[in-house]
């Protein structure tokens, strides 16, 4: 089952990378937009997928139990909540997927 979570994590991370959404080693996406992507595969709910990613430390989150991290947007001069996918974890998961094939 964890292979499904890893495969989806890598696919979404690569999609965000192609969209130019990577900053300082993290792919950034608003939670609502990510939930739309996660809901395409129906093996689990998007919220449960995010909780698993958080428990495995694949995403960077606030310490208070949220699934997002506040990121400063210089253009707006304010902090916005984003889900931050760790690109180093993505690279390792991708290597493991290639080794398994």
What average pLDDT is seen over the chain?
94
What is the number of structural domains in the chain?
Answer: 1
| Percentage of the chain modeled with pLDDT above 70 | 99
pLDDT in tens, 30-44: 999 999 999 999 899
pLDDT in tens, 44-72: 999 999 999 999 999 999 888 899 999 99
pLDDT in tens, 73-93: 888 899 999 999 999 999 999
Q: Which residues are 47's β-sheet partners?
A: none
Report whether pLDDT(101) > 80: no
What are 66's two structure tokens? 């949220």
* C-alpha–C-alpha distance, residues 15 and 30, integer Å: 14
**Segments forming the whole domain that contains residue 34:** 2-100
79 close to 70: Cβ distance less than 8 angstroms: yes
């Amino acid at each position: 089952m964890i292979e499904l979570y890893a495969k989806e994590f890598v696919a979404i991370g690569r999609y965000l990378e192609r969209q130019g959404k990577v900053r300082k080693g993290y792919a950034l996406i608003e939670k609502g937009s990510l939930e739309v992507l996660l809901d395409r595969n129906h093996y689990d709910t998007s919220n449960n997928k995010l909780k698993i990613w958080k428990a495995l430390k694949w995403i960077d989150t606030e310490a208070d139990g949220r699934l997002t991290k506040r990121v400063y947007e210089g253009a707006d001069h304010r902090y916005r909540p984003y889900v931050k996918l760790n690109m180093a974890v993505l690279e390792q998961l991708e290597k493991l997927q290639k080794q398994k094939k």
